[in-house]
């Protein structure tokens, strides 16, 4: 092969591992290897970026550098744009080959990758991109999508290369020492995350072990409760987002565990439910890959131009700060600020409350949540945000009532008491709706609604208004046609693995419900 023996650059992106890393394996097979991670200032100035994302990545880079050292390879931490890196590589080596994983990221990374592709074409450099998720570039319809997902997940994982040779001159591309990475203050948002999950492969493997050895047995039945999901959910999300674990290695390990636990009904049900989530991971990312403007534009044409967009609106500011006066909503936001994580149901409730209960457009709340989620994954985030705010026009309208959610998923009020301590002394009934505390009891409890804790907006009336409005807009013949086109392009064409098949519903027969409390919303 003509490319043999020229320098093989491995560009690490959101794939911070050496195991099951096809670009690294291929590079090592063809010549001296130069592994590099680019710290791109522009990337860390985008409005969806945050210090907590960087800190999690830095943990992963430290583990990655150690793992590469075990292969006698360095990890170069380049500071600057990737285009500048490519120019410098060209100046140093003349010819080289570039290897990386394919990425479905935000609009900025999409444009950056387009620019890299153009640079490679102009400079006759081969850029080999491997798939690490079941996402297909340029896909226009979903027929056979599940089959390719299964093929990729069932294929053998790539072992770390045994005899890799480092490229000489790598020092010129190493700007930031590994030890100083955690101290960098990168990210548009600098809110401290005092209880952030630790990153890195060791931490990821430890989580997975504890999940399959004991925590996972209670997975099913714990997911909707924010305290139980914290303990019995896998908590793998930031590791999958930063690739410290590969999705395929998790899927394959999971299959072995399902065999092992097949005679225990509780384990079986839990691991079956977990299997569907790993499939949804790629199913959602595929949506953003196929429709990149979902990041900033309402998906359904009939539903555009609705709701409040002012980035300084008092409702938005109160929601962002956990000061809406609705205890479960505020508890979720405050817990998210401190920990960087929240379970699915509470994420859905937060965005549902912002868009239906407060009448806000989804975009600013989406950015705020993106900055707070350590596991921010654009391909899951924006499709979920649009779905939960009723912007897709193709999913059942789910509006989560925070009072019902508190009854069902924080039955003893412990979560609220922990995160909204100003309500901790109130009996359960008033802890969930402190505005209704009778005047006769206010002195006794030393609590004055409106001064000790905010009074809420009339969120139930507001939600009814927006639900009716969206319902009407979705019903026109033109809107229905548009819905069918969107379903053909973005919806799953069959049931997820691990999930029982249900009869497919057409758009027109879908029931529109207010304040439903069903299973986690999915669109299959
Ligand atoms: C508005 C909103 C925004 C979200 N944004 C993100 C995000 O930025 N990054 C992210 O990883 N997840 C996101 N999710 C999905 C989900 O809430 C998290 O993946 C999950 O809570 C992470 O916890 P876990 O790892 O313990 O999940 P588990 O239940 O243990 O699931 C295992 C893995 O499956 C995937 N997964 C789980 N649920 C879903 C789902 N509903 N859709 C797609 N994939 C799923 C994740 O990769 C997760 O790590 C979002 C959900 C909502 C409603």
Residue 498: is its pLDDT beyond 90? no
State the pLDDT at residue 494. Answer: 65
- From the list 439, 459, 442, the residue with the least C-alpha distance to 328 is 459
Question: What pLDDT is recorded for position 489?
Answer: 84
Ligand 1 center–CA 80 separation, angstroms? 31
Average pLDDT of 248-277? 97
CA distance linking residue 15 with residue 86, whole number of Å: 20
Cα 48 to Cα 364: distance, rounded to the nearest angstrom: 10
Which residue, 398, 387, 394, is CA-closest to 463?
398
- Residue from 242, 333, 344, 399 whose mutation best tests the ligand 1 pocket (most atoms within 8 A of CB): 344
Annotated binding-site positions for FAD: 219, 274
Does the pLDDT value for residue 500 go beyond 80?
A: no
Helix (H) or strand (E) holding 470: helix 459-474
pLDDT number for residue 5 = 86
Cβ-based neighbour number of residue 358 at 10 Å: 25
CATH homologous superfamily for the domain 294-490: DNA Cyclobutane Dipyrimidine Photolyase, subunit A, domain 3 (1.10.579.10)
Q: Of all atoms in ligand 1, which is nearest to the CA of residue 229? A: 26
Inter-residue contact 42 to 108 (CB < 8 Å):
yes
Which of 227, 295, 384, 405 has most ligand 1 atoms within 8 Å of CB, for mutation?
A: 384
Question: For the chain, which residues make up each domain, given as ranges?
Answer: 1-130, 201-288, 294-490
Mean pLDDT taken over the chain = 93
Nearest Cα neighbor of 33 from 167, 160, 173 is 167
How far is Cα 438 from Cα 119, in angstroms, rounded to an integer?
68
Closest atom of ligand 1 to CA, residue 344: 17
429: Cβ contacts below 8 Å, ≥ 6 apart: none
How do residues 309-346 score in pLDDT, each as one tens digit? 999 999 999 999 999 999 999 999 999 999 999 999 99
Among all chains, which residue has been given the structure tokens 């973005």? Answer: 490
Task: Give the mean model confidence (pLDDT) for residues 192-207.
Answer: 98
How far does the centroid of ligand 1 lie from the alpha carbon of residue 424, in Å? Answer: 29
Q: What is the pLDDT of residues 386-431, one digit of tens each?
A: 999 999 988 889 999 999 999 999 999 999 999 999 999 999 999 9
Percent of the chain with pLDDT over 70: 93
**25-34, 134-143, 282-291: which range is least confident on average?**
134-143
Ligand 1 pocket, Cβ-based, cut-off 6 angstroms: 233-237, 240-241, 277-278, 280-281, 284, 343-344, 347-348, 351, 373, 375-377, 380-381, 384-385, 388, 520
Q: Under CATH, to which class is 1-130 assigned?
A: alpha beta
Helix, strand, coil shares of the chain, percent, nearest 5, are 50, 5, 40
Q: Which residue puts its alpha carbon closest to atom 23 of ligand 1? A: 235
Residue 517: predicted pLDDT: 27
- Spacing, Cα 238 to ligand 1 middle (Å): 9
Residue 348 — φ and ψ, nearest 5°? -65, -40
Minimum CA distance residue for ligand 1 atom 32: 277
Closest CA to 434 of 510, 517, 323: 323
CA distance 43 to 41: 5
Q: Whose CA is nearest to atom 46 of ligand 1?
A: 237
Q: Measured from the CA of 522, which atom of ligand 1 is nearest?
A: 41
pLDDT tens track for 299-314: 999 999 999 999 999 9
Alpha carbon nearest to ligand 1 atom 6, residue: 381
What is the atom index within ligand 1 of the atom nearest the CA of 376?
A: 8
Residues in the chain, overall count? 524
Q: What pLDDT shows up at residue 510?
A: 31
Lowest mean pLDDT among 109-113, 406-410, 509-513: 509-513
Tell me the H-state helices in 49-187: 51-69, 82-93, 107-122, 145-154
Q: Indicate if the pLDDT at residue 508 is higher than 50.
A: no
Instruction: Kindly report the protein residue whose alpha carbon is nearest to atom 16 of ligand 1.
Output: 344
| pLDDT of 437 over the 60 cut | yes
| pLDDT at 2 > cutoff 90 | no
Say what the pLDDT of residue 4 is: 62
Whose C-alpha lies nearest to ligand 1, atom 24? Answer: 235
Q: Give buried/exposed letters for 76-105 (b at 16+ CB in 10 A, else e).
A: bbbebbbeebbeebeebbeebbbbbbbbbb
CA 478 / ligand 1 centre spacing (Å): 33
Q: Is the pLDDT of residue 215 over 50?
A: yes
Looking at residue 474, its pLDDT comes to 93
More confident residue, 241 or 489: 241
């Amino acid at each position: 092969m003509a490319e043999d023996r020229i320098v093989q650059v491995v560009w690490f992106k959101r794939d911070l591992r050496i195991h099951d890393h096809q670009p690294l394996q291929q590079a090592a097979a063809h010549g001296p290897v130069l592994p590099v991670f680019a710290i791109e200032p522009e990337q860390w100035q985008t409005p969806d970026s945050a210090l907590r994302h960087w800190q999690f990545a830095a943990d992963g880079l430290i583990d990655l550098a150690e793992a590469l050292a075990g292969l006698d390879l360095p990890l170069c931490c380049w500071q600057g744009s990737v285009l500048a890196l490519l120019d410098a590589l060209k100046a140093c080596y003349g010819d080289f080959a570039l290897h990386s994983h394919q990425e479905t990221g935000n609009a900025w990374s999409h444009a950056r990758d387009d620019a890299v592709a153009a640079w490679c074409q102009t400079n006759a450099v081969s850029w080999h991109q491997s798939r690490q998720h079941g996402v297909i570039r340029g896909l226009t319809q979903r027929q056979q999508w599940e089959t390719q997902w299964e093929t990729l997940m069932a294929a053998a994982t790539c072992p770390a290369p045994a005899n890799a040779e480092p490229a000489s001159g790598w020092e010129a591309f190493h700007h930031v020492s590994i030890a100083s990475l955690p101290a960098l203050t990168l990210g548009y948002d600098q809110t401290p995350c005092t209880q952030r999950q630790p990153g890195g492969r060791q931490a990821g493997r430890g989580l997975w072990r504890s999940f399959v050895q004991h925590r996972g047995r209670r997975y099913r039945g714990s997911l909707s409760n924010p305290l139980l999901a914290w303990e019995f959910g896998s908590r793998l999300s930031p590791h999958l987002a930063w690739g410290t674990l590969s999705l395929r290695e998790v899927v394959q390990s999971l299959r072995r565990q399902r065999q092992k636990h097949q005679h225990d009904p509780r384990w079986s049900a839990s691991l079956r439910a977990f299997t569907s989530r790993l499939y949804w991971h790629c199913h959602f990312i595929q949506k953003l890959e196929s429709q990149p403007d979902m990041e900033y534009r309402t998906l359904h044409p009939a539903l555009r131009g609705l709701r409040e967009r002012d980035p300084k609106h008092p409702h938005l500011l109160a929601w962002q700060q956990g000061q809406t006066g609705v205890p479960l909503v505020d508890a979720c936001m405050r817990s998210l600020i401190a920990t960087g994580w929240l379970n699915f149901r509470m994420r859905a409730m937060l965005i549902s409350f912002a868009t239906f209960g407060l009448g806000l457009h989804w975009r600013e709340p989406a950015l705020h949540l993106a900055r707070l989620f350590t596991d921010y994954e654009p391909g899951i985030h924006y499709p979920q945000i649009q779905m939960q705010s009723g912007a897709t026009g193709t999913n059942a309208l789910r509006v989560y009532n925070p009072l019902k959610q508190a009854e069902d998923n924080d039955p003893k009020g412990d979560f609220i008491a922990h995160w909204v301590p100003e309500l901790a002394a109130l009996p359960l009934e008033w802890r969930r709706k402190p505005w209704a505390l009778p005047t006769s009891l206010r002195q006794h409890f030393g609590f004055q609604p409106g001064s000790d804790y905010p009074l809420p907006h009339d969120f139930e009336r507001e939600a009814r208004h927006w639900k009716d409005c969206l319902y009407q807009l979705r019903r026109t013949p033109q809107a229905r046609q548009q819905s069918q086109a969107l379903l053909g392009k973005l919806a799953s064409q069959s049931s997820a693995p691990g999930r029982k098949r249900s009869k497919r519903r057409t758009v027109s027969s879908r029931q529109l419900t207010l304040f439903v409390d069903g299973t986690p919303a999915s669109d299959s």
